[in-house]
Amino acid sequence: MKSPSISPDDVAELRQQVTGPVLTAQDEGYERETAAYNLATPIHPDVVVGATDADDVAAAVAWAAARQVPIGVQATGHGADRPIDGGMLVNTARLQDCTVNPDTRIARVGAGVRWQTVLEAAVPHGLAVLNGSTTDVGVVGSTLGGGLPVLGRTFGFAADHVRSFDVVTLDGRHRTVDAEHEPELFGLLRGGKGNLGIVTAMEFQLIPLEGLYGGGIFYPGADAREVLAAWSQWSADLPETAATSIALLRLPEMDIVPEPLRNQFVVHLRYASTAPEEEAARLLSPMRTISRPVMDTVGPMSYRDVDAIHMDPPVPLPYLDAGRLLNDMSDATIEALLAHAGPDTDCPLLLVEIRLMGGALSRTPEGPADVVAGRDAAYLINLVGLAVPPDAERVPPAITELLGALDEHVSERTMVNFQGALGGEPGSAHVWTAEGHARLAAAKAHYDPHGLLRFQQSVHT
């Protein structure tokens, strides 16, 4: 659907209604204001609003609704895996309020706050946050998609711990929703992504946690079959105090890659346990006797250093990706993975990752029903390839072929935060359960009848 044209007079009126910058492609700072973490995603709105507070968001939404201008929302840009061409982008990165109450263990954050900021405020009080593989991601954006934490098997999804949202709906209203006030909207915001309004602030419960036993073990890629088979058997018996994932990595020759791993194909086991150190080390010990590790970084750590477990790239990169829920890690699954991404292949993918689900992730929290996907999943598979020469054109068919080879073992469903640029039509029913999709579609028709929030993961009505 083509965006309606926006005249210079329209832009001038918008500038009078908000305090933050209002930029078009001709203005200095436009590229910086629209930049996403994924450098392969073209973000080219007709106008971008750098919101400074919730009032700016409400004014921008009212302006767009009056003109039927479609709206995109972005803070850190980690979730920007679909293009934006035309319309208005609301950048919430300036909403940086962050407070941590160590007595109630409740944090309140603005829409632009990253997990790292909350972590720095919480850890000195013996508290932790439920971030994913990197704390560079925005708190609100990741949580709206459910939020799959490093410690999810122990504590559940990040969305399970939300207390309230401040949200601007398409009628321009400021709403504060929680389990008692507009509970259906509150439930649908947890896992429904940005379909029903623009969240400007969020309150959530922090986790008491004094320390962590975690890190990674890197094995030679040549031993991938042995390591994957051992990981499959070992991880199946882990208690909820332990979380793990494993990845086939083809690491480039880049400064951000540790020297022993540059230009190498390796298998990366990630491990995090909240059990006492001795017990956590005992649980991991079977995997320390497998193969001949190139590097072993697992040990006692402060939660402040949680990013060292996954070691995600700390800088923006151009990439293409897709994610699906995986039913099993059987011998047949492992053989399919190795046939398309193993040491004897010319696979162009940077990462083929399997995350163990289950534990607390499988339990439904109390309160209004949410639409978080993946509670019934055994594993998640995540595929990523760099969109740079000479392999950029090879990445999409490689992902398609690998998922095709896993057809009997991979679910048709995915999780909204992991669908990725190559994971199928955005907002389609397979991103949520059938019941969840139906609830979201009905709410979308009510709160956004013209489908103005249509970029990224817009639910189909």
Q: Which of the given ranges, 52-56, 364-368, 451-455, has the highest pLDDT on average?
A: 52-56
pLDDT confidence bin for 298, thresholds 50/70/90:
very high
- Over residues 316-343, the mean pLDDT reads 96
Per-residue pLDDT, 82: 85
pLDDT confidence bin for 80, thresholds 50/70/90:
confident
Which element (helix H / strand E) includes 369?
A: none
Side-chain half-sphere of 403: how many Cα atoms within 13 Å? 25
Per-residue pLDDT, 144: 97
Q: How far is CA 210 from CA 114, 123, 125, 134, 241, in A?
A: 21, 8, 9, 19, 14
Q: How far is CA 116 from CA 61, 113, 190, 210, 322, in A?
A: 29, 8, 21, 17, 25
Per-residue pLDDT, 254: 73
Q: Which residues have a Cβ under 8 Å from the Cβ of 118 and sit 6 or more positions away?
A: 98, 100, 107, 109, 129, 139
Q: Retrieve residue 106's tokens.
A: 């409740």
Helices (H), 175-256: 183-189, 224-235
Q: Retrieve residue 115's tokens.
A: 């997990």
CA 4 to chain centre: 31
Phi/psi of residue 97, nearest 5 degrees: -60, 135
Per-residue pLDDT, 425: 74
Instruction: Read off the DSSP letter of residue 364.
Output: P
- Over residues 329-358, the mean pLDDT reads 97
- Over residues 374-401, the mean pLDDT reads 95
What are the pLDDT digits (tens) for 101-160?
Answer: 999 999 999 999 999 999 999 999 999 999 999 999 999 999 999 999 999 999 999 999
Q: Which residue did the predictor score with more confidence, 367 or 254?
A: 367
Phi/psi of residue 323, nearest 5 degrees: -140, 145
Question: How far is the C-alpha of 39 from the C-alpha of 316, rounded, in Å?
Answer: 6
pLDDT at 461 over 60: no
Please report, in angstroms and rounded to a whole number, the separation of the first and last CA atoms in the chain. 15
Side-chain half-sphere of 98: how many Cα atoms within 13 Å? 18
User: Coil, strand, or helix at residue 116?
Assistant: helix
Phi/psi of residue 28, nearest 5 degrees: -65, 135
**Considering Cα of 115, then 118, then 120, then 124, what sign does the dihedral take?**
negative
CA 2 to chain centre: 28
- Looking only at the bridges linking them, the beta strands covering 88-91 and 47-50 are parallel
Strand partners, 248: 267, 352
Q: Retrieve residue 66's tokens.
A: 């009056």
- Over residues 312-336, the mean pLDDT reads 94
From 312, 379, 383, select the one nearest 350 (Cα to Cα): 383
Domains of the chain: 8-91 (3.30.43.10), 98-208 (3.30.465.10), 212-418 (3.40.462.20)
- Over residues 346-375, the mean pLDDT reads 96
pLDDT at 314 over 70: yes
Query: What share of the chain has pLDDT > 90, as a percent?
Result: 86
Rg (CA), the chain: 22
User: Coil, strand, or helix at residue 181?
Assistant: coil
What are the pLDDT digits (tens) for 400-450?
Answer: 999 999 999 999 899 999 999 888 776 666 888 889 999 999 999 999 999
Name residue, tokens 């058997």: 233
User: Coil, strand, or helix at residue 296?
Assistant: strand
pLDDT confidence bin for 97, thresholds 50/70/90:
very high
- Looking only at the bridges linking them, the beta strands covering 71-74 and 88-91 are parallel
Query: Within the chain, what is the greatest distance between any pair of CA atoms?
Result: 69
For 55-105, strand residue ranges (E) read 71-74, 84-85, 88-91, 98-101
From 144, 198, 170, select the one nearest 415 (Cα to Cα): 144
What are the pLDDT digits (tens) for 25-73?
Answer: 999 999 999 999 999 999 999 999 999 999 999 999 999 999 999 999 9
Beta carbons of 146 and 373 less than 8 angstroms apart:
yes
Q: How far is CA 224 from CA 292, 339, 409, in A?
A: 11, 11, 19
pLDDT at 182 over 80: yes
pLDDT at 256 over 80: no
Per-residue pLDDT, 211: 85
Helices (H), 125-223: 139-144, 152-155, 183-189
Q: What is the pTM of this model?
A: 0.96
Per-residue pLDDT, 271: 98
Per-residue pLDDT, 30: 98
pLDDT confidence bin for 237, thresholds 50/70/90:
very high
> Quick one: the chain helix, strand, coil %, rounded to 5?
30, 25, 45
- Over residues 209-233, the mean pLDDT reads 96
CA 317 to chain centre: 15
